[in-house]
Structure 1
Amino acid sequence: MAKAKFVLKEPHAKTETLIYLVYNYQYNRFKYSTAEKVNPKFWNKNDQRVKASKNFPEHPEFNARLDKIENGINNAFRKLLNDGIQPNNKNLKDALENELSDHILKPKKTTLLEFIEDYIEESKLKKSIGTVKVYNTTFKYLKEYSQKRKKLNFENITLEFYSNYVAFLNIEYNLASNTIGKHIKTIKSFMNEATDRGLNDNLDYRKRKFKTIREEADTIYLSIDELKRIEDLKLSASQRLDRVRDLFLIGCYTGLRFSDFTEIKPENITSNNSLIEVRTRKTSQRISIPLHQTVRRILKKYNNKLPKAYTNQTMNQYLKEVVSLAGIKELIETSITKGGKIERTVLPKFKLVSTHTARRSFATNLYLAQVPTISIMKITGHKTEQSFLKYIRVTQKENADKLLTHPFFN
């Protein structure tokens, strides 16, 4: 049974907020902006209409407009069925706008940039801070492109836009290829969401050539021997370095992200101090990790109450000091494509270490220790073996050494 309802974009707002039409039909969901706005204090959630209030004297006309839209979506759905057409979000949107095409009550069409701005506001309640930050950065570049090069809307997101936009990010901002790839991926996410809501019917962004750019990153990992050298450092004279070292090692032996290994609480230590059980912040997965002896020692040192972490940026700065003190100074050549050009740099290994090196080290060291890939993925959260294998860092020699113990070579 198809059913229409009206919901507020921000039901707890103190100022006017958009009203959306939500239409559930045949196990599908169609969401449509009415372009009408109301202060939530005048909204009756049960009736899904504006309250009859002397402080809102235009309520009869306002509710009549919502009635018109509700009748319009019901008529549109019924006509599609009567004409033998299977309803979907695209033809339902077209049929609804045809019903409202008298231009008296037809809602204003949402533009691409307006949609993205609204979607980012919605995401602040549902997505992680990091994800919202990526959304905002992508939005900033799109707005600047729209101002400097070509005004953007849904119909402009074509293969021609793709080529011009990648060149724009290369030339104007000298961005790394992987950064550009992240922004293309985010644009595709915006377009998918808009398409699902019936706001967009241009599907060029789904074409094979509208691809997410990805360059294999020259990231490093720390071996078990290197981690032991870090663990053996005498840092009692520097509380800040001692704290950073301990937190980093927790990450190296749990595989948790910085946002998770710095938030471990006593209640996360379970099964008679043999497991860490946490719900990850980024993916909301609940995972269980056996306690490595190094983790046990560090937890005991702090009575299962880990010290407060510095910010990620500050931790990365101090971490380089710690790894340098451990003598991990092997020269590493890295390359990155920026502005369409390959840049090569040679740096001592300690300068390439960051908090994320902990998670990569965990995955790589377990892989080299012959732990089944599926068992590691249960902790790291990788969905496919292909994505997992791109994540670990194994040299050709390490791979050969690993294969020496395989039955095929014996």
Structure 2
Amino acid sequence: MTIRTVLWAQPRKDGTAAVKIYVNLKGVVRYFKVDSIYIEPEYWDKAKQAVKAKHPSAKLYNAKIRARKLEVEEHFLNGGTFQDFGKTKAENKLVTEALEEYIDLNQEEYSPKTIKLYHCTINRIKQFDNEYSITSKIGSIDANWADDFVRYMKSMGYKKSAASLHLSRVRNAAKQQRVDNPHIEKVRCSQNKTAPKTYLTPDEIALMENVPASELGETLDTVRDFFLLAYYFLLRNSDLSAISRSNFMEKNGKMFYVGRNKKTKTQVIVPVKQKAKEILEKHNYDCSAYSNGWRNSKIREVAEIAGINALVEQNNELVPKYQVISMHTARRSAATNLDMQGMSQHGIKMLGGWKNISSLSVYFRSGNMDVAEKAEQFEHFK
């Protein structure tokens, strides 16, 4: 058996590389990572199999490397195999530790925003453990643990959807540990029937367009303008906020919005109607004012003033539609209304930057009567 410490030959995008323990057991070679240690090749002493003293964290890193090497060596000297290495340790590993490892393994594939969200989950699990005076370990999480976590999140004022996202990240991290826990898939929110997301009809959009600015005031008028632009261009709020003059071009006397969807990384080109052009010029092509949360709260006020008060289902009760509107309702409404007007789903997908038809289809919110009225124009129903 041969065991030595090496610097991984394939560096990451930032030029650093992982430190790993090389094991050759009867001709079979495996590498075991030393957690959370990445260094530039210039700091690695190949002969001493250690981090050079000139590295600011040399002592700490070398202590971790020695501990990891001893752990690996002890396992195999005691007759352990590659298959069972770390299995018991993984079962007793803290959920937060597993999440840290998951972040470490996927940081090159995930965006900084996604990494930040995983760190947020780690903080919530720590708070949950502290509140319940427990220690959440990978081998013991199950449906009961998930229910307790969801109740805790609710007590802190978070919505069930937020808890569900945290549990999804926990499942991802748990699966990566390859622990024999049959309950991992049950670590999720219990499913309740939810009402479909709402959308605004063309008539309701017109109501919003026609509210005099004097009735809204500067802030509400600005948020109303941003909502309408999101509707005209089928944009997410984040893409709307990034608009600038450079996103617009003219061809054959017609103006077009040309952008790149942040989520799907796809290019979109959308014709600019006169109403949209007037709003853009009014705000000097700058739609960055106010946060998403602020816009969401204010667009409901605009919708109430506009009289968008048809009753819709929300949490098993009927409420005025203005209470459930958000900035994203604009994108959903545009997709639904274009579909009802007869545009092909492929065309809508191209305009809005959806990756595929299946991801677009969840945006369509027309009801049975809407579809029936649309179908009436076809010969089959005449």
TM-score w.r.t. structure 2 length?
0.71
1:37-186 equivalences under 5 Å are 37=37, 43-44=43-44, 50-51=51-52, 53=54, 94=84, 111-117=94-100, 119=102, 126-127=110-111, 129=113, 131=114, 134-146=117-129, 148=132, 151-157=135-141, 161-166=142-147, 168-170=149-151, 173=154, 178-186=161-169
Match of residue 278, structure 1, among 246, 259, 263 = 259
SS at match of 2:297: helix
1:378 aligns with 2:381: no
Contact 1:180 1:213 in 2 (8 A): no
What percent identity do the matched residue pairs reach?
A: 24
SS at match of 2:174: helix
Contact 1:251 1:257 in 2 (8 A): yes
Shift of 1:258: 0.9
Distance 1:289 1:162, change over 3 A: farther
Match of residue 401, structure 1, among 373, 376, 379 = 373
Contact 1:331 1:347 in 2 (8 A): yes
1:318 aligns with 2:298: yes
1:251 aligns with 2:223: no
Shift of 1:398: 0.7
Unaligned runs of 5+ in 1: 24-29, 76-90, 99-105, 336-342
1:365 aligns with 2:337: yes
Q: Distance in 2 between matches of 1:134 and 1:230?
A: 35
1:257-268 equivalences under 5 Å are 257-268=236-247
Unaligned runs of 5+ in 2: 1-5, 23-29
Q: Distance in 2 between matches of 1:133 and 1:351?
A: 30
Across the aligned residues of Structure 1 and Structure 2, the Cα RMSD in angstroms comes to 4.7
Q: Distance in 2 between matches of 1:280 and 1:205?
A: 37
Per the alignment, residue 8 of structure 2 pairs with 5
Shift of 1:221: 1.0
Q: Distance in 2 between matches of 1:57 and 1:134?
A: 30
Distance 1:363 1:213, change over 3 A: farther
Per the alignment, residue 223 of structure 1 pairs with 201
Shift of 1:251: 0.6
Match of residue 295, structure 1, among 276, 279, 295 = 276
Distance 1:329 1:32, change over 3 A: farther
Q: Distance in 2 between matches of 1:389 and 1:125?
A: 27
SS at match of 1:391: coil
Q: Distance in 2 between matches of 1:52 and 1:179?
A: 45
Shift of 1:266: 0.8
Shift of 1:114: 1.7
SS at match of 1:370: coil
Contact 1:270 1:277 in 2 (8 A): yes
Per the alignment, residue 324 of structure 2 pairs with 352
Contact 1:42 1:56 in 2 (8 A): no
Greater CA deviation, 260-269 or 232-241? 232-241
1:62-94 Cα offsets, whole Å, 9 max, x none, are 79959979x99xx9xxxxxxxxxxxxxxx9675
Shift of 1:7: 8.0
Contact 2:51 2:62 in 1 (8 A): no
Distance 1:316 1:64, change over 3 A: closer
Contact 2:309 2:322 in 1 (8 A): yes
1:200-230 Cα offsets, whole Å, 9 max, x none, are 34464675x6667554444221111211222
Distance 1:260 1:61, change over 3 A: closer
Contact 2:256 2:269 in 1 (8 A): yes
TM-score w.r.t. structure 1 length?
0.67
Shift of 1:407: 4.6
Q: Distance in 1 between matches of 2:286 and 2:225?
A: 9
Counterpart amino acid of residue 155 in structure 1: G
Greater CA deviation, 306-315 or 115-124? 115-124
Contact 1:19 1:34 in 2 (8 A): yes
Distance 1:36 1:371, change over 3 A: closer
Distance 1:327 1:173, change over 3 A: closer
SS at match of 2:312: strand
Contact 2:150 2:189 in 1 (8 A): no
Q: Distance in 1 between matches of 2:214 and 2:45?
A: 60
Match of residue 327, structure 1, among 291, 304, 307 = 307
1:11-50 equivalences under 5 Å are 19-21=18-20, 33-35=33-35, 37=37, 43-44=43-44, 50=51
Q: Distance in 2 between matches of 1:249 and 1:242?
A: 11
SS at match of 1:274: strand
1:258-279 Cα offsets, whole Å, 9 max, x none, are 1111210111113436332222
Q: Distance in 1 between matches of 2:152 and 2:67?
A: 48
